[in-house]
């Protein structure tokens, strides 16, 4: 056996180097021939491996007419030197490596031909696939895992090189599906399926879609039946919550990973098979998984998978690649996304969030809880809170855009946002306690930029849709518009509050916004453009919200909701206007209204404001080819103005296709050097702003903990000053980078929009 192991070791080294094999292919097939069953690994049965056939004469071993080296005959003498299990592991490793070399484009054709001949002998004469599958029935997990890896490579090789779907493998999978949950090999079946699909997606050949369609065709119908049977299982008998069944956990993780790669293949290869759509169409039966007595890691992976589906980001981590360009629209995407969103909202309406358990301690990646002696440092599992909140918000966005009437939209919004805010307040500790309903987004997403901006974008999208629908329904009814303004705060999605909380969390640092604009990892550009366009028409709303922020900071940390109450009571104490209550879980407050005539000044200013609201710039996307830092194409054109809904839908479509190219390290370093130079010139921003406002207030405003009188000009406008100053610094930084050809795309249209915002700021007589 020692000689046998030594020969395999030398073969491994040759294949690793891609060296040619001199001996006969039958001889190499002998060394690589696996035992047929796991029992043949025992030392007593090792001599009866199919690869060894005793000849008529002692001292000779033959396979047909192929002579075998004489040294193999003597391996019985050194039987205890090597472990048969080690030999089988080495055989599997060599076979896997040989298949990898065959699939490589860098290998010489003659060497590939030799490797192919050996694999063919193993398949035809020695039933390689059957022996690999038989390994799954054993108790040795390492051998089974290595066999699964080897089988996945073999299936991919047969499919890509010969357009063959292995019948033995297909029968094994279908039997595993039908035998579930009694099948002991189902996890290996799912893992191998996932591995083959990954290999196809990662391949560079042009016919990947055809190969995958051919591979999945035989499983398509049976997989839907299997999917339903998995989520219809009754786990109530599994009362052992202290020692969770690792078999169930492993199976469910393998199943969720297979679902993710199936959905990813739909996105990347434009395939729409039933097995790729079943998670969207039949999600409702799967949502009960959160109440199963299973490991929390499985529930977390499940919710994150739903989130990625709704964000259209499935497979980015698995395939380590970004989403492909949407050159061809998925004909079923809108229908499937609506089905997924509606099913989730239906579950929430039935108490899904109440059933979702959230650990009071954060957890590591593997699911184990973080141990800490200081309980004050512990926070709830924000991963679950973020994922579930974003799923609800995206589902609500899809639902809102599918609704027609303003009353229907209003009812859906109030119902589900109230459910979400109640859920969050129940799980957030005192350190994360909400003082304003709109603060929830910043509180739970502050540690994850990409999800935070996705949530902000979804919230803004809901606001834009509802505002348009509500304005169409209410027309010029002032009281209805005031009611609508209250409801945006009450339901925690006022876009101006959300944007200001974002700026406060980053310290009004323009360089952070610049990083967001340059990065390709978030949707900040899309969100930022939409918000700036909104700000053009809602400057009065923005000003009112800023004043509330100022007063909240000046009153020693008093909750914003209480500031809002006193602010509105003071402004409307002499009016007979009906006051609308802001009813939250812990607070009841009054909010300012956008249509207050006192904020508009003269009638001429009112007309200007109305004209500004009517200006909804149209986006015209130009060619998005930014392979060079010197790209001169236009990103977007904001100069147009139209209220036409069809043009706005075109704007949404084009804006969603905006791509940002990350810069290399050298360019990024130059950017930071340029920005830092200008940053030094503006380090005394608060002092200079205070002087512009009122020289007497300069020393007060220079401190972040300013306690200026609430009635002073400075106390009412400090947040506005900070906001517009931040945007002005951002505009200057982008302009400098653009002049030096260091910005990754042409920001001319974005600069035009920022300059327009600066003009609005000057017209508001703040600076």
Dump pLDDT digits (tens) for 438-476. 999 988 998 899 999 999 999 999 999 888 887 776 655
In eight-state DSSP terms, residue 363 is B
In eight-state DSSP terms, residue 574 is T
Q: Give me the pLDDT at residue 440, please.
A: 92
pLDDT of residue 651 exceeding 70, the answer is: no
Dump pLDDT digits (tens) for 532-551. 999 998 888 898 888 888 88
Q: Check if the beta carbon of residue 375 is closer than 8 Å to that of residue 439.
A: no
Structure tokens at 79: 């039987």
Mean pLDDT of 742-762: 90
Burial 558-572 (b: 16+ CB within 10 A, else e): ebbbbbbbebbeebb
Q: Closest by alpha carbon to 493, among 529, 524, 456, 528?
A: 456
Mean pLDDT of 724-735: 95
Q: Give me the pLDDT at residue 117, please.
A: 94
Q: Own/partner pairs for 580-585, CB < 8 Å, 24+ apart?
A: 580/482, 580/483, 580/486, 581/486, 582/437, 582/486, 582/489, 582/490, 583/490, 584/421, 584/437, 584/490, 585/421, 585/422, 585/425
Distance CA 193, CA 148 (A): 10
Structure tokens at 363: 């957890």
The SS3 assignment for 63 reads strand
Mean pLDDT of 670-698: 41
Binned at pLDDT 50, 70 and 90, residue 419 comes out as: very high
Sign (positive or negative) of CA dihedral 682, 688, 689, 690: positive
Taking the C-alpha atoms of 458, 464, 465 and 469 in order, what is their torsion angle to the nearest 10 degrees? 160
Distance CA 555, CA 304 (A): 40
Q: For tokens 């070399």, what's the residue?
A: 101
Q: Check if the beta carbon of residue 160 is closer than 8 Å to that of residue 215.
A: no
Q: Check if the beta carbon of residue 300 is closer than 8 Å to that of residue 384.
A: yes
Q: Which residue has the higher pLDDT, 262 or 182?
A: 262
Q: Give me the pLDDT at residue 443, please.
A: 87
Q: Check if the beta carbon of residue 190 is closer than 8 Å to that of residue 255.
A: yes
The neighbouring-strand residues paired with 62 are 67
Q: Give me the pLDDT at residue 358, please.
A: 86
For the chain, what is the largest distance between any 2 Cα atoms, rounded to a whole number of angstroms?
116
Distance CA 599, CA 187 (A): 65
Phi, psi angle pair for 446, to nearest 5°: -60, -25
Q: Give me the pLDDT at residue 598, please.
A: 32
pLDDT of residue 41 exceeding 60, the answer is: no
Distance CA 546, CA 508 (A): 14
Q: Give me the pLDDT at residue 372, please.
A: 55
Q: Give me the pLDDT at residue 211, please.
A: 92
Q: Give me the pLDDT at residue 473, please.
A: 66
Q: Give me the pLDDT at residue 594, please.
A: 33
The SS3 assignment for 62 reads strand
Mean pLDDT of 711-735: 80
Distance CA 197, CA 585 (A): 48
Distance CA 11, CA 190 (A): 31
CA 730, chain centre distance (Å): 28
Distance CA 415, CA 713 (A): 39
**Can you give the pTM of this predicted structure?**
0.76
Structure tokens at 345: 């909202």
Q: Give me the pLDDT at residue 480, please.
A: 63
pLDDT of residue 631 exceeding 90, the answer is: no
Distance CA 350, CA 345 (A): 9
How many other CB atoms sit within 10 Å of the CB of residue 580?
A: 18
Measured CA to CA in angstroms, residue 760 lies from 98, 433, 539 at distances of 67, 35, 8
Give a three-class secondary structure readout of 377-430.
HCCCCHHHHHHHHHHHHHHHHHHHHHCCCHHHHHHHHHHHHHHHHHHHHHHCCH
The SS3 assignment for 33 reads coil
The neighbouring-strand residues paired with 552 are none
Q: Give me the pLDDT at residue 610, please.
A: 40
**Segment (H or E) for 473:** helix 449-474
Q: For tokens 């099913």, what's the residue?
A: 343
Q: Which residue has the higher pLDDT, 637 or 201?
A: 201
Distance CA 340, CA 211 (A): 28
Region of poorest pLDDT, from 171-180, 457-466, 663-672, 703-712: 703-712
Q: Give me the pLDDT at residue 474, please.
A: 61
Distance CA 142, CA 536 (A): 62
Q: Check if the beta carbon of residue 264 is closer than 8 Å to that of residue 313.
A: no
Q: Give me the pLDDT at residue 408, please.
A: 84
Burial class (CB in 10 A: 0-12, 13-18, 19+), 260: buried
Distance CA 713, CA 728 (A): 21
Phi, psi angle pair for 616, to nearest 5°: -115, 90
Q: Check if the beta carbon of residue 137 is closer than 8 Å to that of residue 184.
A: yes
pLDDT of residue 159 exceeding 90, the answer is: yes
pLDDT of residue 478 exceeding 70, the answer is: no
Region of poorest pLDDT, from 68-72, 82-86, 666-670: 68-72
The SS3 assignment for 244 reads coil
Dump pLDDT digits (tens) for 570-587. 444 434 333 333 333 333
Q: Closest by alpha carbon to 717, among 601, 549, 552?
A: 549
Dump pLDDT digits (tens) for 94-123. 999 999 999 988 888 899 999 999 999 999
CA 531, chain centre distance (Å): 22
Mean pLDDT of 211-218: 92
Q: Which residue has the higher pLDDT, 466 or 393?
A: 393
Distance CA 760, CA 735 (A): 19
The neighbouring-strand residues paired with 755 are none
Please, what is the end-to-end C-alpha distance for the chain in angstroms? 87
Distance CA 195, CA 148 (A): 9
Taking the C-alpha atoms of 414, 420, 423 and 427 in order, what is their torsion angle to the nearest 10 degrees? -140
Distance CA 29, CA 21 (A): 12
pLDDT of residue 712 exceeding 50, the answer is: no
Burial class (CB in 10 A: 0-12, 13-18, 19+), 166: middle
Distance CA 221, CA 216 (A): 10
For the chain, give the percent of residues with pLDDT over 70: 65
Half-sphere exposure of 23 (CA within 13 A, CB side): 15
Distance CA 39, CA 42 (A): 6
How many other CB atoms sit within 10 Å of the CB of residue 105?
A: 7
Phi, psi angle pair for 194, to nearest 5°: -60, -45
Distance CA 581, CA 441 (A): 22
Structure tokens at 146: 């290595």
Mean pLDDT of 14-35: 89
Find out whether the peptide bond into 177 is cis, omega within 30 degrees of 0.
Answer: no
How many other CB atoms sit within 10 Å of the CB of residue 515?
A: 19
Sign (positive or negative) of CA dihedral 456, 458, 463, 464: positive
- Among 29-43, 100-114, 418-432, top mean pLDDT goes to 100-114
Structure tokens at 703: 């401190």
pLDDT of residue 605 exceeding 50, the answer is: no
- Among 41-55, 311-325, 679-693, top mean pLDDT goes to 311-325
Dump pLDDT digits (tens) for 122-136. 999 889 999 999 999
Distance CA 746, CA 623 (A): 11
């Amino acid at each position: 056996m020692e000689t046998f192991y030594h020969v395999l070791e030398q073969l491994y080294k040759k294949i690793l180097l891609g060296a040619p094999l001199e001996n006969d292919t039958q001889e190499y097939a002998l060394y690589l021939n696996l035992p047929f069953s796991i029992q043949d690994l025992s030392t007593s049965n090792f001599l009866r491996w199919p690869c060894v056939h005793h000849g008529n004469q002692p001292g000779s071993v033959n396979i047909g007419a192929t002579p075998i080296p004489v040294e193999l005959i003597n391996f019985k003498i050194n039987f205890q030197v090597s472990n048969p299990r080690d030999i089988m592991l080495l055989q599997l490793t060599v076979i896997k490596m040989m298949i990898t070399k065959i699939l490589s484009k860098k290998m010489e054709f003659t060497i590939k031909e030799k490797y192919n001949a050996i694999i063919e002998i193993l398949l035809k004469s020695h039933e390689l696939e059957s022996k690999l599958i038989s390994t799954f029935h054993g108790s040795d997990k390492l051998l089974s895992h290595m066999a699964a890896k080897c089988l996945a490579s073999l299936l991919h090789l047969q499919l890509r090189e010969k357009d063959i779907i292995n019948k033995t493998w297909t029968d094994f999978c279908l039997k595993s599906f039908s035998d579930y949950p009694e099948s002991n090999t189902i996890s290996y079946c799912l893992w191998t399926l996932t591995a083959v699909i990954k290999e196809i997606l990662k391949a560079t050949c042009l016919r990947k879609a055809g190969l995958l369609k051919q591979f999945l065709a035989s499983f398509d119908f049976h997989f839907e039946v299997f999917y339903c049977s998995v989520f219809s299982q009754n786990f109530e008998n599994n009362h052992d919550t202290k020692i969770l069944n690792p078999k169930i956990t492993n199976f469910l993780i393998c199943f969720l990973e297979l679902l993710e790669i199936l959905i990813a293949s739909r996105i990347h290869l434009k395939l729409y098979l039933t097995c790729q759509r079943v998670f969207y169409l039949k999600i409702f039966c799967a949502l009960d998984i959160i109440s199963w007595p299973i490991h929390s890691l499985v529930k977390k992976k499940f919710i994150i998978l739903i989130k990625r589906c709704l964000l259209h980001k499935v497979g980015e981590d698995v395939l380590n690649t970004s989403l492909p360009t949407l050159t061809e629209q998925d004909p079923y995407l809108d229908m499937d996304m609506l089905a997924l969103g509606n099913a989730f909202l239906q579950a929430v309406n039935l108490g899904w969030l109440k059933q979702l358990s959230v650990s009071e301690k954060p957890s590591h990646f593997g699911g184990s809880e973080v141990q800490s002696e200081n309980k004050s440092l512990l926070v709830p599992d924000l991963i679950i809170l973020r994922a579930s909140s974003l799923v609800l918000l995206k589902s609500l966005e899809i639902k809102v855009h599918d609704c027609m009437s303003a009353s229907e939209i209003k009812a859906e919004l109030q119902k589900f946002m109230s459910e979400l805010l109640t859920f969050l307040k129940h799980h957030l500790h005192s350190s994360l306690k909400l003082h304003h309903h709109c603060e929830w987004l910043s509180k739970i997403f502050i540690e994850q930029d990409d999800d935070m901006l996705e949530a902000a974008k979804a919230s803004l999208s809901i606001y834009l849709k509802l505002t348009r629908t509500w304005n169409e329904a209410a027309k010029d009814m002032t009281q209805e518009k005031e009611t609508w303004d209250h409801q945006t705060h009450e339901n925690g999605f006022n876009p101006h509050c959300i944007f200001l909380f974002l700026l406060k969390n980053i310290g009004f640092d323009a360089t952070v916004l610049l990083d967001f604009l340059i990065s390709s990892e978030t949707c900040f550009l899309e969100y930022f453009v939409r918000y700036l366009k909104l700000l053009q028409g809602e400057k009065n709303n923005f000003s009112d919200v800023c004043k509330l922020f100022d007063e909240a900071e000046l009153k020693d940390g008093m909750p914003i909701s209480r500031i809002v109450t006193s602010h509105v009571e003071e402004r409307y104490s002499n009016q007979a206007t009906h006051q609308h209550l802001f009813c939250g879980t812990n607070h009841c407050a009054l909010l300012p209204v956008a249509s207050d005539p006192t904020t508009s000044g003269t009638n001429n200013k009112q007309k200007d404001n109305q004209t500004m609201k009517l200006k909804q710039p149209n986006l015209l996307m130009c060619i998005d080819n930014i392979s060079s830092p010197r790209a001169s194409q236009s990103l977007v054109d904001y100069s147009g103005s139209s209220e036409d809904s069809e043009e706005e839908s075109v704007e949404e479509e084009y804006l969603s296709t905006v791509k940002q190219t990350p810069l290399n390290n050298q360019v990024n370093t130059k950017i930071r050097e340029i920005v830092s130079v200008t940053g030094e010139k503006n380090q005394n921003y608060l002092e200079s702003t205070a002087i512009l406002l009122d020289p007497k207030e300069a020393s007060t405003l220079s401190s972040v903990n300013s306690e200026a009188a609430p009635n002073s000009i400075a106390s009412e406008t400090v947040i506005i000053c900070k906001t517009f100053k931040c945007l002005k610094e951002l505009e200057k930084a982008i302009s400098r980078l653009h002049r030096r050809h260091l910005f990754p795309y042409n920001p001319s249209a974005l600069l035009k929009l920022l300059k327009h915002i600066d003009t609005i700021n000057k017209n508001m007589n703040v600076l």
